[in-house]
């Protein structure tokens, strides 16, 4: 035990004797581990944010969208952008066709700009109905949200975000003023406060209009980009999904489900999809970051080989006083593991610090509900990988040192 302790001490002294070389040796490990920590932590934070926003819609919601899910790159007929329209929404609301539906919320993407007296900006613009106010917590801080009657009568009204109001009207209130979208003038009846990002929409930079108004006067389209359907309870979600599928297949004369020109996804489906996508992206990025670990391992092996050559006389002297091959092997392996473990610890510390700053910046700068969480799994993986690299890439230099003949080593100049 005492000899092993002396071996650790000797390895430590050998490393601190050449501080600059040791620091440069572990640089590749530091960069690799730091990259892995940042990728996994930021990726997990982004995934948690998206999933929390999806969950905020409620587990009893379904998304109905045009187009079937792609079956592969060659599936060129996957998009039927006009397959979900007003008649489909009315059928979903028909209790005899689809029981247990509480309400539906259509979405129409409105492209283009919004302007007022020479000021122009390009916000996120959507057409929807009165359900948006309750379902998306979309009650304006100032003014009102459009009601069901305004949707039915295609009123030219709009609710805008705080950033839109500031950009177009400066210090003045935007209420009751008329903005221009395309060639249509719409009266501002409500203004959101600083609500920030919610799901895939930034309230502060948004313009919301009745979907009937958007389709009739602005886009000219007769279909929805998607419909959010709310079931009575979680227990009815699957039944509502099946009823919607049967209804739409009947309306579109579809007999084979493989020919569906629509998608009906539950919150669980969306969460699994997001989890799969982010998981693949993280795996790809971690693989790229791992290349620097491999480069760092090669660097450690090269430096250790140089160290073996420089310390040939030391090795011969240690063998002359009784050190065995396994003692020399152990010392050089310990040095390699110490270097990589130190690089792993430093990489974890720096990566965690950068991740924390990124989380704070995204939370405050973009007003996102981005939560920082220490990536324990990534940290454990980093330490394990760095130690393993030390053992693997340190073995050959250590073996070369252990095999040196003591007489030849002592004669080395």
Q: 3-state DSSP call for residue 162?
A: helix
Domain boundary residue, one of 236, 266, 296: 266
Same domain, 232 and 291: no
Same domain, 202 and 331: no
* Sequential DSSP letters for 86-138: HHHHHHHH-TTTSTTEEEEEEEEE--S-EEETTEEE--EEEEE-THHHHHTT-
Same domain, 225 and 127: yes
Query: Would you give the DSSP letter of residue 315?
Result: H
Query: Would you give the DSSP letter of residue 194?
Result: S
Same domain, 240 and 212: yes
Same domain, 128 and 214: yes
Q: Whole domain around residue 312: which residue ranges?
A: 2-54+273-411
| pTM attached to this predicted model | 0.63
Domain boundary residue, one of 211, 245, 266: 266
Same domain, 290 and 332: yes
Closest CA to 177 of 216, 128, 142, 136: 142
Query: Would you give the DSSP letter of residue 216?
Result: I
For residue 364, give both structure tokens.
């405050």
Please give the Cα distance from 124 to 160 (Å, whole number): 10
Same domain, 32 and 134: no
Backbone angles phi, psi at 207, to 5 degrees: -130, 120
Please give the Cα distance from 192 to 99 (Å, whole number): 34
Chain centroid offset of residue 87 CA: 36
Structural domain count of the chain: 2
Backbone angles phi, psi at 159, to 5 degrees: -115, 130
pLDDT in tens, the chain (413 residues): 444 555 556 555 555 666 666 677 777 778 878 887 887 777 777 777 766 666 666 678 898 999 876 554 444 444 447 789 999 999 999 999 999 999 999 999 999 999 999 899 999 999 999 999 988 888 999 999 999 999 999 999 999 999 999 999 998 999 999 999 989 999 999 999 887 766 567 889 999 999 999 999 999 999 999 999 988 888 888 899 999 999 999 999 998 888 888 998 877 776 676 677 777 777 777 777 667 667 767 777 777 666 666 666 666 666 666 667 676 777 777 777 777 778 888 888 888 888 888 888 777 766 666 777 777 777 777 777 777 776 776 666 666 666 665 555 455 44
Same domain, 284 and 249: no
- How would you label 252-266 residue by residue, b for 16+ Cβ within 10 Å and e otherwise? eebeeeeebbbbbbb
What number of residues does the chain have? 413
Q: 3-state DSSP call for residue 144?
A: coil
Closest CA to 379 of 355, 354, 358, 349: 349
Same domain, 329 and 386: yes
For residue 244, give both structure tokens.
């919607």
Domain boundary residue, one of 210, 234, 266: 266
Same domain, 113 and 171: yes
Same domain, 215 and 357: no
Same domain, 158 and 191: yes
């Amino acid at each position: 035990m005492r000899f092993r302790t002396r071996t650790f001490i000797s390895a430590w002294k050998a490393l601190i004797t050449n501080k600059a070389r040791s620091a440069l040796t572990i640089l590749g490990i530091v960069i690799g581990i730091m990259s892995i920590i940042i990728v996994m932590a930021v990726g997990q934070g982004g995934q948690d944010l998206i999933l929390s926003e999806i969950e905020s819609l409620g587990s009893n919601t379904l998304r109905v969208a045009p187009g079937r899910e792609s079956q592969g790159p060659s599936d060129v007929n996957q998009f039927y952008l006009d397959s979900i329209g007003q008649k489909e929404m009315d059928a979903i609301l028909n209790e005899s066709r689809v029981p247990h539906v509480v309400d539906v919320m259509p979405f129409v993407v409105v492209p283009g700009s919004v302007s007022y007296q020479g000021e122009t900006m390009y916000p996120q613009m959507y057409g929807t109905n009165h359900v948006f106010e309750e379902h998306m917590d979309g009650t304006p801080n100032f003014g009102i949200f459009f009601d069901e009657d305004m949707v039915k009568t295609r009123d030219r009204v709009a609710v805008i975000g705080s950033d839109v109001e500031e950009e177009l009207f400066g210090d003045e209130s935007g209420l009751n003023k008329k903005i221009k979208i395309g060639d249509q003038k719409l009266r501002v009846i409500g203004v959101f406060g600083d609500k920030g990002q919610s799901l895939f929409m930034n309230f502060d930079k948004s313009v919301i209009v009745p979907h009937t108004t958007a389709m009739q006067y602005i886009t000219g389209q007769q279909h929805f980009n998607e419909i959010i359907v709310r079931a009575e309870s979680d227990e009815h979600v699957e039944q509502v999904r099946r009823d919607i599928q049967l209804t739409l297949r009947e309306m579109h004369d579809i007999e084979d489900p493989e020919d569906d020109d629509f998608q009906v996804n539950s919150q669980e489906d969306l969460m699994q999809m997001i989890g799969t996508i982010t998981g693949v992206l993280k795996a790809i990025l971690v693989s790229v970051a791992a290349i620097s670990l491999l480069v760092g391992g090669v660097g450690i092996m090269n430096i250790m080989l140089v160290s073996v050559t420089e310390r040939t006389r030391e090795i011969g002297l240690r063998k002359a006083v009784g050190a065995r091959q396994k003692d020399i092997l152990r010392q050089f392996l310990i040095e390699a593991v110490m270097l990589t473990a130190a690089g792993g610890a430093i990489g974890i510390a720096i990566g965690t610090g950068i991740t924390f700053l990124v989380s704070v910046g995204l939370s405050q700068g973009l007003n996102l509900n981005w939560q920082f969480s220490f990536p324990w799994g990534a940290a454990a993986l980093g330490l394990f990988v760095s130690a393993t690299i030390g053992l693997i890439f340190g073995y050959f230099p250590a073996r070369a040192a252990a095999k040196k003949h003591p007489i030849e080593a002592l004669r080395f100049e």
